[in-house]
């Protein structure tokens, strides 16, 4: 009896691990990261090689996150050189910005982020 209980416990652990990996995979597919190029200066005295900004597209929502919240941010989304969305966000509100993309047509879009210190990041994302 103890031996069969051990096997059942082991099988449940294996099942749990595989189901967790499957959920991670599905979640990662739905949450597509946007790679940025450029530099993000946070003030006139500091230049960091790391970018404290990340962005993700998940279904019809663009999420932009700032780890520092030290810079105002101008967000510009364009397609084929035409600006379709622009917003200025004050520094304290840049922790998590969400933008509804449900009205955007399928295609490749550019997102440009600028701050008051001359920092500029450019990324591209796809809407299916």
Token duo for residue 26: 């599905």
Q: What is the pTM of this model?
A: 0.72
pLDDT digits (tens, 9 = 90+) for 5-57: 555 444 443 333 333 333 333 344 467 999 999 998 886 555 555 789 999 99
Dist CA 88 CA 64 (whole Å): 13
Q: Which CATH architecture has domain 34-127?
A: Sandwich (2.60)
pLDDT digits (tens, 9 = 90+) for 52-74: 999 999 989 999 999 989 999 99
Q: How far is CA 28 from CA 50, 64, 98, in A?
A: 23, 16, 18
Dist CA 62 CA 85 (whole Å): 12
Dist CA 18 CA 31 (whole Å): 20
Token duo for residue 94: 């840049």
Residue 6's SS3 state is: helix
């Amino acid at each position: 009896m103890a031996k069969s209980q051990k096997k059942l416990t082991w099988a449940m652990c294996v099942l749990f691990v595989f189901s967790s990996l499957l959920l991670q995979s599905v979640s990662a597919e739905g949450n597509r990261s946007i790679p940025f190029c450029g530099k993000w200066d946070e003030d006139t005295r500091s230049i960091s090689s790391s970018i404290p900004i990340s962005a993700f597209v998940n279904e019809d929502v663009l999420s932009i996150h700032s780890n520092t919240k030290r810079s105002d941010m101008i967000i510009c989304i364009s397609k084929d050189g035409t600006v379709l969305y622009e917003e200025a966000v004050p520094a304290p509100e840049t922790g998590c910005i969400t933008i509804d993309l449900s009205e955007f047509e399928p295609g490749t879009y550019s997102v440009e982020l600028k701050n008051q210190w001359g920092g500029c990041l450019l990324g591209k994302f796809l809407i299916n």
